[in-house]
């Protein structure tokens, strides 16, 4: 089961609501509810309580303020970051307010881009209006997560509808107490939003009361003239007036614009189960899209500052099922990983046991991890000993060099060899001779022998013994 979301639209004498079920991938309308204030009721609290009783349990509540209490303006600001917009919107809106901004709650919603600027609908309402609205809903045990404007949400929903964004729209939402007008351009951006403090008194004076219709039509005409000079907008009639006999024809004739029935819009891809919903609930249904599981509609939210929502946001709930699946997958992965480690540890144990068995005769007890390096060092040490002992298979072993040296030196040469050093670089010889001529004869004898390469006389000098010459001689091996 998903989360139940209740969208409530409160007017002066009527409460409308729409209830939806949200899962991790869909939003489905469960029902719509409407209650009027009856005689003897001082406010809408009893009507709200009746709606709550009919709707049953709800996890998230979205409510709408009456539009006549809200000042609105379209602003173009050179920022995209929401935090920076939050800092400057109040100051940019201040000059357009009929009251001090310090006494207001300011909210905004990003609605489009224009060149390098972000377009935002900014709105402000007096703090006492928000407080009274929250107290009213609180008496019906409702704590709204979002307090918004249903007319702006409705304009956003129509532009997202499958067949909604074919041109400019003038959305006229007429209720009994007031009328909201939103002009949306062909790109889906709300260009103007205003509220007229006149509606249609459906019960007392009839739906076509002249003062109200004149004010509504004048405001709609002014909005079109001020913002629709490049394209003639298509009028969309919403609210209770959309279901009033004769009203759509009257609006079309008076304003001389094409009128489109709000019921023609297909937003079944946004929220399922809306095909049979009455047209007057379109604003409530639009507010539900603010909690859509994917690409939610950005709504104005007057729950700011001291009125900020402190309850559960509800965001994790649509992800409950995928979170459980992800947890199960993580546990399965951990089990597989642990099993793999156990198998590898067993194989490593068997391999170490085999290494100990093989290396024991040569190395004794040794750590298997060090066996390779110790074997390599042992082999190098033994090879060096064998080479120095003349057991090398190469012709440059010490025995070979000594044999070549004995062949090279002529018999009876008056020279005494006192030290011979043989290594991979060659041979070094130190000794004494009876004269420098004998040293030279020794050098030439080695040069004539084919077993030696370059012969170098490193040192030759008179020895401490009279008549003797010390010499140091080196030779490379061919």
* SS3 of residue 148 by DSSP: strand
| Domain 398-477: top CATH class | alpha beta
Task: Spell out the domain ranges in the chain.
Answer: 1-164+265-314, 167-264, 324-388, 398-477
What pLDDT is recorded for position 205?
42
pLDDT at 13 over 50: yes
Asked if 224 contacts 170 with a C-beta cutoff of 8 angstroms, the reply is yes
The residue assigned the tokens 């007017």 is: 11
Say what the pLDDT of residue 8 is: 95
Torsion 375-381-384-388 (CA) sign:
negative
Structure tokens at 460: 């030759």
Which of residues 132 and 416 earns the better pLDDT score? 132
Give the pLDDT band of residue 204 (cuts 50, 70, 90). Answer: very low
The C-alpha R_g of the chain, in whole angstroms, comes to: 49
Summarised one tens digit per residue, pLDDT across range 426-470 is: 888 898 888 888 888 888 888 887 778 888 888 888 887 777 888
* Over residues 193-222, mean pLDDT: 70
- Residue with the two structure tokens 């000098």: 461
For residue 176, the number of C-alpha atoms closer than 13 Å in the C-beta half-sphere is 15
Distance CA 32, CA 21 (A): 12
Tell me the H-state helices in 293-367. 320-363
Nearest to 241 by CA among 183, 193, 175, 180: 175
Q: What whole-number distance in Å separates Cα of residue 66 and Cα of residue 9?
A: 8
For the domain made up of 1-164+265-314, give the CATH fold.
Nucleotidyltransferase; domain 5 (3.30.420)
Between 147 and 282, residue with greater pLDDT: 147
CA 321 to chain centroid, in Å, comes to 20
Residue 316: the pLDDT is 45
C-alpha count within 13 angstroms, C-beta hemisphere, residue 322: 8
167-264 has the same fold as 1-164+265-314: yes
What is the enclosing helix (H) or strand (E) of 250?
Answer: helix 247-255
Three-class DSSP category at 371? helix
Largest CA distance in the chain: 150
- Give the span between the Cα atoms of 117 and 77, in whole angstroms: 5
Please, how many CA atoms are within 13 Å of residue 399, restricted to the half-sphere of its CB?
A: 9
Please provide the CATH number assigned to the domain covering 167-264.
3.30.420.40
Beta carbons of 359 and 440 less than 8 angstroms apart: no
Q: How far apart are CA 21 and CA 28, in angstroms?
A: 5
Asked if pLDDT for residue 154 goes beyond 90, the answer is: no
The model carries a pTM of: 0.63
pLDDT digit string, tens, across residues 368-411? 777 777 777 877 777 777 666 655 545 567 777 888 888 888 88
Of the candidates 393, 453, 450, 399, which has an alpha carbon nearest to the alpha carbon of residue 422? 399
Burial 256-270 (b: 16+ CB within 10 A, else e): ebebbebeebebeeb
- CB of 235 within 8 A of CB of 259? yes
Contact predicate 56/113, CB 8 Å: no
Residues paired with residue 148 on neighbouring β-strands, in sequence order: 64
Count CB atoms within 10 A of the CB of residue 120.
26
The pLDDT assigned to 231 comes to 65
**CB contact at 8 A, 421 and 428:** yes
């Amino acid at each position: 089961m998903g989360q139940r979301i209740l969208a409530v639209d409160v007017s002066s004498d009527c409460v409308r609501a729409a209830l939806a079920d949200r899962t991790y991938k869909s939003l489905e309308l469960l029902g719509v509810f409407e209650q009027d204030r009856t005689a003897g009721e001082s406010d809408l609290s009893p009507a709200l309580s009746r709606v709550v009783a009919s709707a049953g349990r709800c996890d998230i509540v979205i409510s709408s303020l009456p539009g006549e209490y809200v000042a609105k303006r379209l602003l173009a600001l050179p920022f995209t970051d929401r935090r920076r917009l939050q800092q400057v919107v109040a100051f940019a809106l201040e000059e357009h307010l009929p009251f001090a901004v310090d006494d207001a709650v300011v909210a905004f919603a990003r609605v489009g881009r224009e060149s390098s600027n972000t377009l935002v609908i900014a709105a402000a309402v007096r703090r006492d209006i928000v407080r009274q609205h929250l107290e009213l809903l609180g008496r019906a045990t409702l704590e709204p997560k979002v307090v918004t404007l249903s007319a702006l949400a409705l304009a956003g929903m129509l532009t997202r509808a499958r067949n909604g964004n074919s041109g400019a729209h003038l959305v006229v939402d007429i209720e009994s107490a007031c009328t909201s007008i939103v002009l949306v351009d062909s790109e889906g951006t709300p260009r103007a939003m205003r509220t007229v403090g006149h509606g249609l008194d459906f019960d007392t004076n009839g739906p076509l009361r002249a003062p109200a219709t004149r004010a509504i039509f004048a405001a709609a005409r002014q909005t079109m003239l001020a913002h629709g000079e490049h394209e003639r907008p298509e009028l969309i009639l919403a609210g209770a007036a959309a279901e009033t006999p004769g009203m759509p024809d009257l609006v079309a004739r008076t304003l001389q614009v094409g009128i489109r029935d709000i019921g023609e819009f297909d937003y079944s891809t946004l929220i399922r189960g809306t095909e049979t919903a009455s047209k007057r609930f379109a604003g409530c249904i639009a507010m539900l899209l603010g909690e859509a599981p994917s690409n939610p509609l950005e709504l104005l939210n007057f729950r700011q500052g001291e009125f900020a929502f402190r309850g559960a946001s509800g965001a994790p709930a649509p992800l409950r099922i995928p979170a459980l699946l992800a947890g199960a997958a993580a546990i399965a992965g951990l089990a597989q990983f642990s099993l793999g480690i156990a198998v590898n540890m067993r194989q490593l144990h068997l391999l170490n046991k085999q290494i100990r068995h093989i290396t024991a005769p040569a190395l004794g007890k040794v750590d298997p991890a060090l066996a390779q390096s110790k074997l390599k060092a042992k082999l190098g040490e033994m090879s060096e000993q064998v080479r120095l002992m003349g057991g090398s298979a190469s012709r440059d072993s010490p025995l070979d060099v000594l044999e070549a040296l004995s062949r090279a030196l002529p018999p009876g040469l008056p020279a005494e060899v006192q030290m011979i050093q043989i290594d991979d670089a060659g041979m070094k010889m130190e000794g004494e001779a009876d004269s420098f001529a004998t040293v030279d004869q020794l050098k030439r004898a080695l040069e004539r022998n084919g077993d030696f390469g370059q012969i170098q006389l490193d040192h030759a000098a008179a020895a401490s013994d009279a008549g003797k010459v010390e010499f140091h001689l080196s030779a490379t091996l061919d």
